[in-house]
Structure 1
Amino acid sequence: MLFFGGVAGTLTGGRIADRTGAVRTVQAGTALAIPALVALRVAPGPGTALLAAMATGMAINIPFSVLVKLGQDYLPTRPGTAAGVTLGLAVSIGGLAAPGLGAIADTWGIAAVFSVLCLVPLPGLLLAAFLPEIRPTSPRDARHQGRSA
């Protein structure tokens, strides 16, 4: 269900970004992740947990592809670097956090890990508040900026 929610979130995030802008989409998706994670944490039974997993998958994936595109907009002459940094950084931070989450699970149980995960979007939401919205440039403008830089 998390996977299916992720597919829906990726598609939804693109549609929202087309209408409201990339920065607002990142902010909205990150904000939606908090109640979705809380719902997953407090889900009373398997049926509700499956629905909460789908909502969580959707919420955490709304900003995902939009962040890659936003990074490319911020670095128009270096789209590969922007994609590598946005995706690579996300995966690396997740990999670095995994042993800590495992230690929390070993000490306090799985429920404690889900409680900690409810807090993870908060720093992202705070940082997203400072992202400037930029106008997308045409590929021709990006090439011209690259020559003058």
Structure 2
Amino acid sequence: MLKSAGTPRTEGPQLSRPQLILAFAVIGALLLSKFVYIETFKSYYTFFLIERFGMEIRQAQTILFVFLGAVAIGTFFGGPIGDRIGRRRVIWVSIVGALPFALLLPHVNLWGVIALSILVGLILSSAFSAIVVYAQELMPQKVGMVSGFVFGFAFGVGALGAAALGGIADLVGMQQVFNALSLLLFLGFLTALLPDIE
């Protein structure tokens, strides 16, 4: 008998429907915290530097480029690290580990801001690969649907959140938005609710 084409059926973790709903709700909250933070940072970092330090646009954009490079490197290495130490651990370290640096960032001098933004970019971006694979492992028989949810929700909520915070920045100032932005990363503690499927 010929097997039908498509994704092979893989036995996934034995989780109940409520456990799966909770796990995906937590994943959604983690994606919200990570992508709203990063998209807001990418969109308004130059304005923050100009407002806070009186920098020229070219200088501020150069520092933004350094941050984006850190994000790219963190994303690249997040997957292999997750394979080595476990994806749930990477999610923990990535979002919660970036929190102290993100809280401190708006209150230090220029060189401190640059150094902390690199650390935040490296650490926070390493979670994405781990979140995608972890979500796929929850429902390995529906990898396409899960991947679509993760990617679609991540980039959609990031863009909407950045736009909303940009509107708030028009009212209260970019400095105040960056002061409050790091509070999103407290959602990383919800990782404790994710089932250990590894």
Q: TM-score, normalised by structure 1?
A: 0.80
Instruction: State the shift of 1:37 in Å.
Output: 1.4
Of residues 79, 100, 103, the one that matches 2:143 is: 79
Q: Distance in 1 between matches of 2:160 and 2:72?
A: 25
Which residue in the other structure is 2:101 paired with? 36
Q: Which runs of 5+ in 1 are unaligned?
A: 136-149
| 1:129 corresponds to 2:181 | no
SS in 1 for 2:181: helix
Of residues 65, 69, 78, the one that matches 1:4 is: 69
Which residue in the other structure is 2:8 paired with? none
Q: How does 1:76-115 map to 2 (within 5 A)?
A: 76-115=140-179
SS in 2 for 1:94: helix
Residue identity opposite 1:131 in structure 2: L
8 Å CA contact 1:43, 1:52 repeated in 2: no
Runs of 4+ in 1 over 3 A off after TM superposition: none
Residue identity opposite 1:42 in structure 2: H
| 1:25 corresponds to 2:90 | yes
Residue identity opposite 2:147 in structure 1: A
8 Å CA contact 2:78, 2:129 repeated in 1: yes
Which residue in the other structure is 2:32 paired with? none
Q: Distance in 2 between matches of 1:97 and 1:105?
A: 12
Q: How many matched pairs?
A: 133
Higher relative contact order (CA 8 A, sep 6+): 2
Q: Which runs of 5+ in 2 are unaligned?
A: 1-65
Larger Rg: 2
Instruction: State the shift of 1:30 in Å.
Output: 0.7
Q: Distance in 2 between matches of 1:32 and 1:7?
A: 18
Report the RMSD for the aligned CA atoms in angstroms.
1.7
1:124-149 CA distance string (max 9 Å, x none): x13211111214xxxxxxxxxxxxxx
1:31-85 CA distance string (max 9 Å, x none): 112122123322311x332222211111211111111111111110121211111
SS in 2 for 1:120: helix
